[in-house]
A = this chain, B = another copy of it.
Amino acid sequence: MLSEELIQELRSIVSHENLDINKASLLVYSYDATPQFQSMPDAVVSPRNTNEVSQVVRFCNKHHIPVVPRGSGTNLSAGTTPVEGGVVLLFKHMDQILDLDEENLTVTTQPGIITKDLIDVVESRGLFYPPDPSSMKISQIGGNINENSGGLRGLKYGVTRDYVLGLEIVLPNGEIIRTGGKLAKDVAGYDLTRLFVGSEGTLGIVTEATLKLIPKPETKKTILALYQDLDAAAKSVSAIIANRIVPATLEFLDQPTLQVVEDFAQIGLPTEVKAVLLIEQDGPPSVVAKDMDEIAKICREHKAVEVSVAKTEEEAEALTTARRAALSALARLKPTTILEDATVPRSEIAKMVKAIDEIAKKYDVTICTFGHAGDGNLHPTCLTDVRNKAEIVRVEKAFEEIFKYAIELGGTITGEHGVGAMKSDYLHLKVGKAGIEAMQQIKTALDPNNIMNPGKIFAKSERKRVVVTK
């Protein structure tokens, strides 16, 4: 709890209307999209500019008050849950595009803009900002940067990190620094830009970002390939890429996911097959046409039972939108939905999908699997009910086994959701004790009072994944 005196001081920085300690409001910001993590903040603060962010952070650092930057709370690793209380920072007053530079192909923006809004502005100029997390209709760019968000176009175009050229950052000591710029090349000292991208708000506050744009692809086409054999679908993925074709999107949905998505979206998805690949290629028309022919051929050679090209843009769009809705669709079925992002080298997808099925059976839990097959970034999604304590213990065990097997296959515990509070107990599996130590040394060096989003990334206790905090 913050004393009345501290609240007053905070209020004097951001003004009366930008500090909220109303119980109902605090409740709204006590959780994010991650099930089973909830913890009350002490105040919700909405600074109007970088200078105010700096003053707030300086104040919090002096008084050792946790600071939790928050976009739209679509986080799936409890990354924005204020697990140690403190101040939740909102960016509703810092949501403007500051500059769209067509000569340098950059956009400079404040963190609070909705990802899709930024994408729309950029595309209206014939330019392209590729990172497209499924939550892009509500997520904010600042959140995307803090989480290094991926998306459906990651295979060909990379992730958020690959498009961040420069940042304005408020450090834990309140100092404001600028990294990078409208520069394709910059090696002046350590790469603070990429260190901050994906640091989950634990090292400082991003108050401005300069993002790289590319020319918008001229056209795109979408293929749906149906399989009665999981393995065949997975092998098609590897074969396409081994044939030197890198599609913009290469998504995988298993039968249970298909069924649920079709019930939800009702666009005529096939629900009788074991797996579907949704493949999109973009680029110049001649290249897209050639790649699509080749992809269709490879899928058929790998035992696709049907391969169809979306006839219209609307049909293609409907398919992609349905895929993006997978989480929402699955979330309707059971009280608790736990969506994971175990990731493996793409050559290992078949093994991983099979293992997930076996592990689900072994622990008698329901896991649907879909995801970015081209990236090896799968989303095994467990439909469960947190009130069923016995089942939750089995869910825990199942996911632990899934993570361990992903690591065994050369993969990682998280491809795009971050570690947050949810997976900190598993980080050692991927980076080892020495890796965690190196990360902790960096954290302590930049944030000695541990005010920046404490309780994230680094495991603190024996706490298990699915536990309500506070």
Identify the A interface with B (CB < 8 A).
101-106, 126-127, 147-148, 150, 154-155, 158-159, 161-162, 171, 175-179, 181-192, 194-195, 197-199, 203, 214-216, 238, 241-242, 244-246, 283-284, 286-287, 290, 343-347, 372, 374-377, 410-419, 423, 427, 430-432, 434-439, 441-446, 457
Q: Which residues of B contact A438 (CB under 8 A)?
A: 171, 175, 177, 192, 446
Contact A372 B185 (CB under 8 A): yes
Q: Which residues of B contact A372 (CB under 8 A)?
A: 185
Determine the residue in chain B with the shortest Cβ distance to A159.
B185
Contact B435 A446 (CB under 8 A): no
Contact flag A189-B446 (CB < 8 Å), given A104-B345, A215-B245, A287-B284: no
Contact B346 A104 (CB under 8 A): yes
Determine the residue in chain B with the shortest Cβ distance to A447.
B441
Contact A410 B191 (CB under 8 A): no
Report the Cα distance A437→B175, complex, angstroms. Answer: 10
Report the Cα distance A346→B445, complex, angstroms. Answer: 35
Contact B415 A186 (CB under 8 A): yes
Determine the residue in chain B with the shortest Cβ distance to A126.
B244
Contact flag A241-B187 (CB < 8 Å), given A179-B435, A439-B192, A445-B444: no
- Residue of B178, B184, B375 near A377 (CB, 8 A) is B184
Q: Which residues of B contact A183 (CB under 8 A)?
A: 343-345, 375-376, 410-412, 415
**What's the minimum C-beta distance from A374 to chain B, rounded to whole angstroms?**
8
Contact B177 A435 (CB under 8 A): yes
Q: Which residues of B contact A105 (CB under 8 A)?
A: 241, 246
Report the Cα distance A437→B176, complex, angstroms. Answer: 12
Contact A410 B181 (CB under 8 A): yes
Contact B435 A189 (CB under 8 A): yes
Q: Which residues of B contact A184 (CB under 8 A)?
A: 154-155, 158-159, 346, 374-377, 415
- Residue of B103, B147, B178 near A187 (CB, 8 A) is B147
Report the Cα distance A254→B128, complex, angstroms. Answer: 33
- Residue of B188, B242, B412, B418 near A430 (CB, 8 A) is B188
Report the Cα distance A442→B171, complex, angstroms. Answer: 13
Report the Cα distance A104→B241, complex, angstroms. Answer: 8
Q: Which residues of B contact A283 (CB under 8 A)?
A: 287
Report the Cα distance A136→B199, complex, angstroms. Answer: 33
Contact A103 B214 (CB under 8 A): no
**What's the minimum C-beta distance from A338 to chain B, rounded to whole angstroms?**
18
Report the Cα distance A75→B80, complex, angstroms. Answer: 43
Contact A343 B185 (CB under 8 A): yes
Q: Which residues of B contact A126 (CB under 8 A)?
A: 244
Q: Which residues of B contact A214 (CB under 8 A)?
A: 246
**What's the minimum C-beta distance from A165 to chain B, rounded to whole angstroms?**
10
Contact A410 B182 (CB under 8 A): yes
Contact flag A187-B417 (CB < 8 Å), given A181-B411, A432-B177, A438-B192: yes
Nearest first, the 9 A-B pairs at minimum CB distance are A215-B244, A445-B445, A185-B415, A194-B194, A175-B434, A103-B347, A182-B345, A441-B445, A184-B375
Contact B244 A216 (CB under 8 A): yes
Instruction: Output the residue of A191, A346, A411, A423 with the most chain B CB within 10 A.
Output: A191
Report the Cα distance A155→B183, complex, angstroms. Answer: 10
**What's the minimum C-beta distance from A120 to chain B, rounded to whole angstroms?**
18
Determine the residue in chain B with the shortest Cβ distance to A184.
B375
Q: A150-B185, A161-B194, A189-B431 are in contact. List 7 more A-B contacts (CB 8 A).
A: A103-B241, A106-B345, A184-B376, A189-B439, A191-B195, A194-B195, A195-B442
